[in-house]
Structure 1
Amino acid sequence: MNAYLYGLLMLALQRFYKGKKHLDKLQWKTNLSVSDHCKARVMNTLSTICGIMNPGYYIAMVNLECLTNCNGKNISNHICEECYYYKQLKEFVEFAMNQYN
């Protein structure tokens, strides 16, 4: 769970290389279940905290999207390697925006 949260925060702070490196520790390219489990636990924990949204998180999401050259799903029917990181950050930003309101 620590690698997921740290990786997510690094993406949110536009430290994309470092964030991707930590998310890759979850072996998501071969099995999404660990990543999904960590995401659920992190979001559950953060749901008790109000006001976690920072405008910089949205900017990071937009900048990361610009770096994404998605071609859909890869041949092994897992999430596209190009957009995995963007989708993780997008879910976090949407979650944080909902917590802010």
Structure 2
Amino acid sequence: QYFCLQIDPRKVDISRLESLPQDLLGIIVSKVVDASTDDYINCILSCKELGASADDKRILQKLNLAPLVKKPLLSIQYVPLMKKTLAKNNLDAHYIKGIIRYFLLTNSVTGLHHLGVSANAGKLEVIYLYAIILCRGRVVEGKKYLNKLKWTEDTTLVNNCWKKIKISLHGIRVARKRCYLTSLRHMKPTATFCHLKDMKTTCGRCFYYKQMYKFIFMI
């Protein structure tokens, strides 16, 4: 009584799956997206009804864009997909768009907006990148974002974020802007016992400086 199903009259036998309303199929496929991108692809290719759910809001919002996160430059070849996922607030899409806008197109305002959306939603590597970029002038705010990664307890998470950032920015020119160098000078610790060339060992005095240094000179 709640649904009006559109059944193809040319089909003699209708499976239970095909008889389900599209909204319910969208829910099913969105659960598959959570589990595995490969399973999702196989799922939407398995039949026309499931394929039609590919544009469902819940799916576009959760869709894992890992291949494009690793190589943001490839997103230029997937403009329709990027538009759809951005419209549904996909965090990967915001991250990719932020990198392209900020670094490639040198549109810092729009780039920071997209990175901020993803960072504020809790995407860890984006929190790291967003924090480092903020340290170009908004140092206090940048440090607050880095602190969200709980580096004082364990630097493993920060190190993993750094590795992912390097992969995403590979092949993209990161300019050594004067504002970066100015912030770096201001963050440089005065303590003589901080070994500034040892990137693996940090303390409360040199942590922020070393993260900024890596971004400027080692990306």
TM class, shorter-length: 0.7 to 0.9
Q: Distance in 2 between matches of 1:61 and 1:35?
A: 19
Structure 1 partner of 2:128: 4
Q: Distance in 2 between matches of 1:51 and 1:35?
A: 20
SS at match of 2:218: helix
Alpha-carbon distance, 1:69 to partner: 4.1
Alpha-carbon distance, 1:51 to partner: 4.5
Q: Distance in 1 between matches of 2:187 and 2:202?
A: 16
Matched, 1:91 2:91: no
Alpha-carbon distance, 1:15 to partner: 1.2
Q: Distance in 2 between matches of 1:83 and 1:94?
A: 16
Structure 1 partner of 2:56: none
Structure 2 partner of 1:99: none
**TM superposition score normalised by structure 1:** 0.77
Q: Which string of whole-angstrom CA distances, capped at 9 and with x for unpartnered residues, describes residues 25-82 of structure 1?
A: 00110111000000111122112202533122112111211xx344549xxxx72111
Structure 1 partner of 2:177: 54
**Which structure 2 residue ranges, 5 or more long, are not aligned?**
1-124, 196-200
**Which structure 1 residue ranges, 5 or more long, are not aligned?**
97-101
Structure 2 matches for 1:43-82, cutoff 5 A?
43-65=166-188, 68-70=189-191, 71-72=193-194, 79-82=202-205
Q: Is the radius of gyration larger for structure 1 or structure 2?
A: 2
Contact 1:8 1:88 in 2 (8 A): yes
Residues 33 and 51 of structure 1, relative CA distance in 2, 3 Å threshold:
closer
Q: Report % sequence identity.
A: 25
2:153 to 11, 30, 43: 30
Which of structure 1's runs of 4+ aligned residues deviate more than 4 A? none
**TM superposition score normalised by structure 2:** 0.38
Q: Number of residue pairs matched?
A: 89
- Pick 1 or 2: higher relative contact order, CA cutoff 8 A, min separation 6: 1
CA RMSD of aligned residues (A): 1.9
Contact 1:69 1:83 in 2 (8 A): no
SS at match of 2:137: coil
